[in-house]
Amino acid sequence: MVLKGKDLLSIHDLSCTEVQSILDLAKELKAKQKQGIEHHLLKGKTLGMIFQKASTRTRVSFEVGMWQLGGMGLFLSSKDLQIGRGEPIRDTARVLSRYVDGIMIRTFSHDDVKELAHYATVPVINALTDLLHPCQALTDIFTILEYKGDLRGRKLAYIGDGNNMVNSLMHACAKVGMDIAVATPPEYAPDAGIVADAMADAVKAGSKITLCNDPFEAAADADALYTDVWASMGQETEQKIREKSFAGYQINADIMKVAKSDAIILHCLPAHRGEEITDEAMEGKQSVVFDQAENRLHVQKAIMALLMSDI
């Protein structure tokens, strides 16, 4: 199995073995970082980091991760690139490929990322689009693995918007044999094409994907509870409408009662406390939200190392 030179646009594109290799290397690199053991797997390499959406965790984790791997992350906002002035993505892809060893992009359109990957001759990493968020979802299952010891047969309950986050979580759960139950308002269901792909993968892995509109049904006997903001970046004008639609789609003390007593709570951040999650749940002993945030560093280091080096 060799991932070097490949792109990571969607978890659906990865084999089960490739997903496991990312989790295994993330565990190894996290242990080395905690022990202060140098792991310069990308010494002398450069990652071009294209940001057309604001970021806290993504920028810091990729930039620090490249430094810890012995390389350099180069921040490129839309103001820094000629994309912002009309240069075609295909031209940017071919130019950057002559300068850097990999490209990470955080943007709106998933089609833009696919075009970038098509024309680039170096690996492209999808760090978020409006359709998918694969690096975050791989981090999430890594975090669940740390706390639960295994993934196969476990149940993740996702409560909230059928957005890019749940799309990638369905892909990830299907690849590792973990069940996922998704509760959304009827008008905010996940993308039908993504659901079909994830369900096909789930059948192969022996896991189950359940869609419903009742948060308590989804949360029943769950090993992990997950939520995200009701209005993502670019949806701010819909905030008031969404507040009405998502009333009741919240991780709180009541919904935690129907999950397993040792269920963990996850959130990809930033959180709007009092909306999709209560402050009590966010700060409670079952919350692993900040361990989850830290793990972006370790999982993305594994992704970069596997795509950009000979390991």
Choose, from 12, 59, 110, 133, the residue flagged as catalytic: 133
Q: In whole angstroms, give the CA distance from residue 304 to residue 42.
A: 8
212 is an active site residue:
no
Choose, from 106, 110, 242, 298, the residue flagged as catalytic: 106
Choose, from 154, 171, 242, 268, the residue flagged as catalytic: 268
Burial of 39 (0-12, 13-18, 19+ CB in 10 A): middle
Q: Residue 73: which residues within 8 A CB-CB, separation 6 or more?
A: 46, 47, 49, 62, 63, 64, 65, 66, 67, 104
Choose, from 136, 250, 292, 300, the residue flagged as catalytic: 136
133 is an active site residue:
yes
101 is an active site residue:
no
Q: Report helix, strand or coil for 120.
A: coil
Q: Residue 184: which residues within 8 A CB-CB, separation 6 or more?
A: 160, 161, 162, 166, 190, 211, 213, 249
Choose, from 197, 223, 228, 292, the residue flagged as catalytic: 228
39 is an active site residue:
no
The tokens describing 39, both together, are 């792991």
118 is an active site residue:
no
154 is an active site residue:
no
Q: Give the single-character DSSP code of 272.
A: -
Choose, from 110, 171, 267, 296, the residue flagged as catalytic: 296
Which residues are tagged catalytic?
A: 106, 133, 136, 228, 268, 296
